[in-house]
Homo-oligomer: A and B are copies of this chain.
Amino acid sequence: MKPWMKNVRQVEPYVPGEQPKALNVTKLNTNENPYPPAPGVAEKLMQIQANHLRRYPDPNCGVLVSALAEYYQVPKERMFVGVGSDDVLAMAFMTFFNSDKPILFPDISYAFYEVWADMFRIPFEKQLLDAEFRLVKEDYYKENGGVIFPNPNAPTSLYVPLEAVEEIVRANPSSVVIVDEAYIDFGGESAMKLTEKYDNLLVVQTFSKSRSLAGMRIGFAIGHEDLIQALNSVKFSFNSYTMNETALLLGAEAVRDEAYFQNTIQKIIAARNEAEERLQSLGFTFPKPMGNFIFATHKTLPAAELFQALREADIYVRYFNKPRIDNYLRITVGTPEQMEVLYRFVEDYQAAR
């Protein structure tokens, strides 16, 4: 071992879903939106002057914070933005989870929570979802150093009703509770409004799913002014200029076109409803999906095998080789055409088996 290696931080990094470069694959593996961002984004992109890029961007991200504050009708002081919700969540872990007591999150959940806890040396204790993958709210009433869960959950797509979220927040006045709402726009009700009532609640969302801007890396958090101020202090202690100029400008544009946004969401929900029927008739079962993805297991086809077969046919879905979920596939809801490719493949595959 090299002598300097003893001081190197050892971590088990998160492995993101594959990003195949070919454009002709059916890509249903990373929960991207199959529709382009709002037309205003393309227009704004044409207007950006390369010459302006020689200057630092606004460290306070004014244009994007203002657009979001206006859209969600919250004061700017309650809005934080970052490089995707991963950046926002990583900063939030660093900022709020500094207790010796363990933070709590579901055992089946966004895999990054454990990675961040490990990286920042935060003790944690996973809480088991029930046999149907439902979150048991009482598990989060015990003493802790913080609470985080996605709603809808990933990779299960299951939604926790707002009343249960509120009960968890109320039960934890001494901890910051983070609700990770990456998929909330696909039918759930956001806990955003509760941030007016509870100063210990941070709601995190992203532009990567419902806003069709995964490529631009934009996430945001809404919470009490004191929470946002603490987050900003850590952000400014890490990197003053996290958001580049193009992200600020295109992000601001993406929240302006409400009609386009609603239309996109409705198309995805319709495709998801259709997918529920079709997948069921193909022999899959799954928890009620409320994100833009379905967490499905098949009555006869083993998930690992089907995953490989799909991949060889250039159909990408996500498979997690982990306890309790190793017979499930997470399937992003794509366009009706993409979904048709998937249904047909499974049909043929079953027939030929």
A73 contacts the other chain (CB 8 A): no
A240 contacts which of B14, B99, B119, B243 (Cβ < 8 Å)? B14
Contact B84 A4 (CB under 8 A): no
How many Å from the CB of A284 to the closest CB on chain B? 26
Is residue A323 contacting chain B, with contact meaning CB distance below 8 A?
no
Docked-complex contact B240 and A16, CB < 8 angstroms: yes
Expressed in whole angstroms, the Cα–Cα distance for A96 and B117 within the complex equals 18
> How many A residues touch B, CB cutoff 8 Å?
91
A3 touches B174 (CB 8 A): yes
A236 at the interface (CB under 8 A from B): yes
- Closest residue of B by beta carbon distance from A16: B240
Q: Which chain B residues border A37 with CB–CB below 8 Å?
A: 50-51, 53-54
Contact check: which of B174, B215, B233 meets A52 at CB < 8 Å? B215
A246 at the interface (CB under 8 A from B): yes
Knowing A173-B3, A237-B119, the reply to whether A230 touches B55 (Cβ < 8 A) is no
Please tell me which one of the listed residues B7, B17, B59 contacts residue A19 in the complex, with CB atoms under 8 A apart. Answer: B59
A55 and B83 within 8 A (CB): no
- The residue in chain B whose Cβ has the minimal distance to the Cβ of A11 is B237
Chain B residues whose C-beta falls within 8 Å of the C-beta of A250 in the assembled complex: 50, 53
B241 touches A217 (CB 8 A): yes
A239 touches B87 (CB 8 A): yes
Contact string against B for A residues 322-353, beta-carbon threshold 8 Å, 1 for contact and 0 otherwise = 00000000000000000000000000000000
A95 & B8 in contact (Cβ 8 Å cutoff) = yes
Cβ of A2 under 8 Å from chain B? yes
- 1/0 per residue, CB under 8 A from B, across A228-252: the answer is 0010111111111111111100100
Interface members, chain A 10-41 (any B CB < 8 Å): 10-17, 19, 21, 27, 30, 32-37, 41
The answer to whether A32 touches B54, judged by C-beta atoms less than 8 angstroms apart, is yes
Instruction: Name the B residues within 8 Å of A96 (CB-CB).
Output: 4, 7-9
Partner of A200 from the list B4, B33, B235 (CB cut-off 8 Å) is B4
Q: Which of A6, A33, A59, A235 has the most CB of B within 10 A?
A: A59
Question: Is the beta-carbon distance between A239 and B84 smaller than 8 angstroms?
Answer: yes
Residue of B nearest to A5 (CB): B226
Whether, in the assembled complex, A205 has its beta carbon less than 8 Å from a beta carbon of chain B, the answer is no
Q: Would A55 and B11 be within 8 Å (CB), given that A4-B176, A173-B4 are in contact?
A: no
Spot the interface stretch: A151-159, A206-214, A305-313: A206-214
Pairs A–B under 8 Å by Cβ, sample size 8:
A2-B226, A3-B173, A4-B96, A7-B146, A16-B240, A42-B49, A86-B240, A215-B246
With A4-B175, A244-B246 known, 7 other A-B pairs at CB within 8 A are A7-B176, A9-B98, A17-B56, A19-B55, A42-B51, A54-B213, A119-B237
| Smallest CB-CB A-B distances: 4 pairs | A13-B236, A42-B50, A53-B215, A215-B245
